[in-house]
A and B are shown apart, each in its own frame.
Chain A
Amino acid sequence: EIVLTQSPGTLSLSPGERATLSCRASQSVSSSYLAWYQQKPGQAPRLLIYGASSRATGIPDRFSGSGSGTDFTLTISRLEPEDFAVYYCQQYGSSTGTFGQGTKVEIK
């Protein structure tokens, strides 16, 4: 089973700042089958990025994904108030579809 480790656990930033979130896999993620989700309290996760770098429908271009193999990054270029949330990475190259433990982006 592929284990995904996200860092940092919590990121304290101010609106307008740049956020860089990391997701590291225990083994190579096939075909860059790596997704990022945003989750706000009381809501289901929302798909942001798939295929490591493709934005899902309706996702603002301040969200970008990069990486391949075992190292992946989600970047939010300029934080808006609505971006403060928990972010999860997920690999979907294997049948089990494992998630990282999440990174919380909080207001500093």
Chain B
Amino acid sequence: QVQLQESGPGLVKPSQTLSLTCTVSGGSISSGSYYWSWIRQPAGKGLEWIGRIYTSGSTNYNPSLKSRVTISVDTSKNQFSLKLSSVTAADTAVYYCARVVVPASPFDPWGQGTLVTVSS
């Protein structure tokens, strides 16, 4: 059974780059046809899709974040990563990674989430 686990700094300074990694266990990130996705949730608010990467490396991003987001995959480590540049307090949220089956499926499974706070 595939499991996902987010990791990365819990505190990032304003204007800096937020960097998170999602480690996939219980299966190879490069086997099968999957999109590996990032989603975030500010405290007390709803869910916002950030973007996704296919195992080939092709990406799709939320238009509202596209200019600041980069998602990459490292098949040798069975991980994919999120970088969000020029962060502000509005980027403070719990960040989740999740899997989607190509061509279309709901997000399942999800990682447990990691809180990232943007503050000086």
Question: Which positions in A face B, CB cutoff 8 Å?
Answer: 1, 31, 33, 35, 37, 43-47, 50, 56, 88, 90, 92-93, 95-102
Residue of A nearest to B108 (CB): A47
Establish whether residues B105 and A50, one from each chain, have CB atoms under 8 Å apart when the complex forms.
yes
Q: How far is the CB of B80 from chain A (nearest CB, A)?
A: 16
Establish whether residues B107 and A90, one from each chain, have CB atoms under 8 Å apart when the complex forms.
yes
Please, which residues of chain A bring their CB within 8 A of the CB of B108?
Answer: 47, 50, 56
Establish whether residues B49 and A97, one from each chain, have CB atoms under 8 Å apart when the complex forms.
yes
Q: How far is the CB of B99 from chain A (nearest CB, A)?
A: 11
Question: Which positions in B face A, CB cutoff 8 Å?
Answer: 37, 46-49, 52, 60, 62-63, 96, 100, 104-108, 110-113
Most A CB within 10 A of own CB, among B49, B104, B105? B104
CA distance A100 to B62 in the complex (A): 15
Further 16 A-B residue pairs, CB within 8 A, beyond A37-B107, A102-B47: A44-B96, A44-B111, A44-B112, A45-B110, A46-B110, A50-B105, A50-B106, A92-B104, A92-B106, A96-B60, A96-B63, A97-B52, A97-B100, A97-B107, A99-B46, A99-B49
A selection of 26 A-B contacts at a CB cut-off of 8 Å is: A31-B104, A33-B104, A35-B106, A45-B96, A45-B107, A45-B110, A47-B106, A47-B107, A50-B108, A56-B108, A88-B46, A88-B47, A90-B106, A92-B104, A92-B105, A92-B106, A95-B52, A95-B60, A96-B60, A96-B63, A97-B37, A97-B49, A98-B49, A99-B47, A99-B49, A101-B46
